[in-house]
Structure 1
C-alpha cells in the first residue's frame, strides 16, 4: 500500500483567506512526507523560500491574437492535466469552485490514470457567484463532478445546499491555525510605536471590500475612544480604503488611526491588539478572528455567516447583529475596562484555537478525506497525533 500521496493544490495565490489556508495546508502535508505540487498562475505569497516536498508549477497563458481575452481557465486545466500525468498525482485539491473545480473536471478527463478531485468551498463562490444563474450552473457542475467536497463552516454548507439544491454530502473542514506560528508574543516594541501613551489597541485586518463594513469599524472605534483612550490599527488594502480614510478625517481621528497597508506576515502584529474588530455582513468563516484568537486576542464582531462557529459569544469574544455599532462599542469598552474579564477571555481564546481549530486536527481531517476517496486506509501511527492546548 502506498503510504504517502502525490497531491496537487490549486488556489488563488494572492492575499486572501482561501489562499492562506490552501498554502498552509500544503506545507503541513509536505511536513508529513506527502509530495505537494502547487499549480497556480503565480507563487502563493505564503510559499516563499525552500520547502521540502513542495513543488511549484506556473500556469502560463498563451498570447494568441484570436482570443479576445487570455484563456486562463483552459490553460489552468491543461497544466493540471500535465502535472497530474508527469507527477502521477493521486489527488487534485482545488480551493474555490470557480474556476478551479471546473478546470479540475476538465483535467480529469484529459489524463489516463485515475485522478481524484477534492473541492473546498470558501465562500464567495457560493455567496456571490451563484446569484448569476449561468455561473450557478458552473458551480453546481464543479461540485457534483468532484470526488469529495468540503466547506469551511456549517453556515456555508447550509447556503450551498439551499442555493444550488445540492444533495451530495459535503464535509465540514474548518479553517485552522498553526499553533507554532500564531501564539501570544511579547510585542512591546510595536505597542510603543502604535500607542506611545499606553492606549488600548483595536485592530482590523481585511481586504477592505464593502462586505467587511469598514465604516462600522471606524464608527465603533470612535465610540470606544470617547470612553477609553485607544488607537485603531488597519492592516490590508482594498476598494473601501479611500472612503475609510475620508470617514477617519470626518470624525477627526487622523492622529489615532494607523494604516499599515498589506502585510504578508501578521502573526506577530496580531499580538499587539487588545481587540480584533470584525463587523462583516458576509463571512463564511472569519479566519482573522481565529488567528487573533490563537494570539489571545478576543474578537468583537457580527453574527454574520460562520463567525459564530469561530467566536463563542461571551467566552472568546462578543457578537452583535450586523450594523449594531453601539453594541459592538459597548462590548469593546466592557473588555477593555475589566482586566479580570479580559484575562479570562484571552485564555479561552488560546485554548479554543489550539483545540477546536488545531492544525494537526484539520490536516488529519483532510488526509482522511484523501484516503477515503482513494479507498486506502491510514497508517496506524498516523492515528496517534492529537491536539492539545499545551
Structure 2
C-alpha cells in the first residue's frame, strides 16, 4: 500500500443504467475512503428514470467525476466502413479488423489520449476499469506507457479476441470476474489464469425490505392473482420474447387462471414486445412499467421472477429476489446458474428451451409449497455467502494487491 491513500481513476464507458451500475455504486458507497481516493471517469452522463444522472449520484456521494464527451462518428469513418464492408463481404475476419482499425483512429485513440492526460494530471496510481476488456481498449492504450497499474472488473461474459487478450495479459495486474463462469470464459479465451480472480457481487442483507402489498394493489392484483415478473432492460439479450411466448401458451392451457406479467424496465425492444403481447392476446395481462427506481418493491410484489436471458454476469436482480424471498426461474447461463441451483434455490432451464420454461412456470404457479421452499433455501445461501461486506472486502483487497504486485 502506498503512503497515504491509493489514487484510483475508475473508468466506465457504459451507456445505460443497469445492474452493473448499481453494483458499482454499492461498492463506491462502502469503499474505505481512508485508504482509497477515487475519481470516476465516464463516457456518458447517463440517467435513470429520465431524471437523476450518474454524475448527480456520484456528486451526492462526494466522489469527483469527469466526463469524456463522445463525438459523433465522422462522415469519412462511416463511408470508409461501408466501402470496406462491401469489398470484404466474403471475409468476416478481415471485415471486422478493417472496421476496428477505423474505429481505432476516430474514437479509441482520441479517448486514450484524453484518459492518459487525466492519469498524468491527477497523478493516479491505478486505473480501475469497469465492464469488460473489449470495451476498455482506450484505457489499456492510455495506461500501458505510464507508471500506472491496471485492474479490470469484468461484470458480464466478455467478448475476447487475440489482440485484446494480448493487451490483458501484458498490462493488467488482475481481472476481477463477477462469477466463476465469467472467470472460466476469460481463461478459455486465453487470459492467464493467474490474473483472474472471482469476487461475487453481494447485497446488503440488513437493509429495510419493502412490502409489495400496496404495489400489487396498484397493479390490479388481488390475493388470488398470480404475478409473474421480470426486471431488466428490454433488450434482445434478455429474451423477454421467450417469456411472452410461454405465457401465451400458458393462457391457452389455463384459460381460467388469474395472473399478470409485469415487465419492469425500458429498452429498444419495448415496441416489439408490446406488439407480441397483443398478438398473443395478452394485452390486458402484460404490464410495461418502464424504468422504476423502486425495483425491489416490484420484486416483493411478484410471486415468481423470470430471467430468460441469453447471457448474464452475476445478475443483481437474482440477489435481490433471494433476499426478498421471491422464487426465481432462470436460464442456465453464466452467473444465473451460479446463484440459482436447480430445484434447490430456484429452477433453471436451458436458454431458449421454451418448453422447459413453460413447465417450470406452470409448476411454480400451482405449487405454493415449492415456491416457499425454494425461496427459503435461496435466502439462507445468500446470507451465508453473498453479502455486500464480502463483495467490498474482496474488491478492496484486489485493488491494493493490484497496485502492490
TM-score range, shorter chain: 0.7 to 0.9
1:118 maps to what in 2? 151
What TM-score, normalized by structure 2, do the two folds share? Answer: 0.79
Q: Is residue 173–residue 195 contact of structure 2 (8 Å, CA) maintained in 1? A: no
- Of stretches 273-282 and 346-355 in structure 1, the one that deviates more from structure 2 is 346-355
Structure 2 residues without counterparts, runs of 5 or longer = 48-53, 79-102
State the secondary structure of the residue aligned to 1:232.
Answer: strand
* Alignment map for 1:236-251 (pairs within 5 Å): 236-251=265-280
> Do residues 78 (structure 1) and 113 (structure 2) align?
yes
The structure 2 residue matched to 1:190, chosen from 201, 206, 215, is 215
Q: CA deviation at 1:186?
A: 1.0
Partners of 1:207 and 1:236 within 8 A in 2: yes
Select the residue among 44, 57, 77 that pairs with 2:66.
Answer: 57
Aligned positions, number: 366
Aligned to 2:127: 92
Look up the SS of the partner of 2:378 in the other structure. Answer: helix
More off after superposition, 339-348 vs 247-256: 339-348
Tell me by how many angstroms 1:86 deviates. 3.5
Stretch deviating more after TM superposition (20-29 or 302-311): 20-29
CA distance in 2: counterparts of 1:255 and 1:309, whole angstroms: 35
TM-score (norm 1): 0.82
Q: Which residue of 2 aligns with 1:212?
A: 238
State the Cα distance separating 1:174 from its structure 2 match.
1.8
Q: 1:64 to 1:222 in 2, by over 3 A?
A: closer
After TM superposition, the structure 1 = structure 2 runs for residues 194-343 of structure 1, keeping only pairs within 5 Å, are: 194-198=219-223, 199-225=225-251, 226-227=253-254, 228-343=257-372
Greater shift in the superposed pair: 56-65 or 216-225: 56-65
Distance 1:164 1:273, change over 3 A: same
- Residues 1:318 and 1:188: Cα distance change in structure 2 (over 3 Å): same
Aligned to 1:25: 27
Q: From the superposition, tell whether residues 136 and 191 of structure 1 become closer, same or farther in structure 2 (CA, over 3 Å).
A: farther
**CA distance in 2: counterparts of 1:281 and 1:61, whole angstroms:** 29
User: Where do 5+ consecutive residues of structure 1 fail to align?
Assistant: 377-390
From 129, 137, 140, the equivalent of 1:105 is: 140
Partner of 1:178: 204
The RMSD of aligned alpha carbons is 3.0
- 1:6 matched to 2:7? The reply is yes
1:202 Cα offset (Å): 0.9
1:178-223 Cα shifts (integer Å, max 9, x gaps)? 3355x64112221012133331111112323333222221133334
Match of 1:37, SS state, is strand
Aligned-residue offset at 1:153: 1.8
| Aligned partner of residue 7 in structure 1, secondary structure | strand
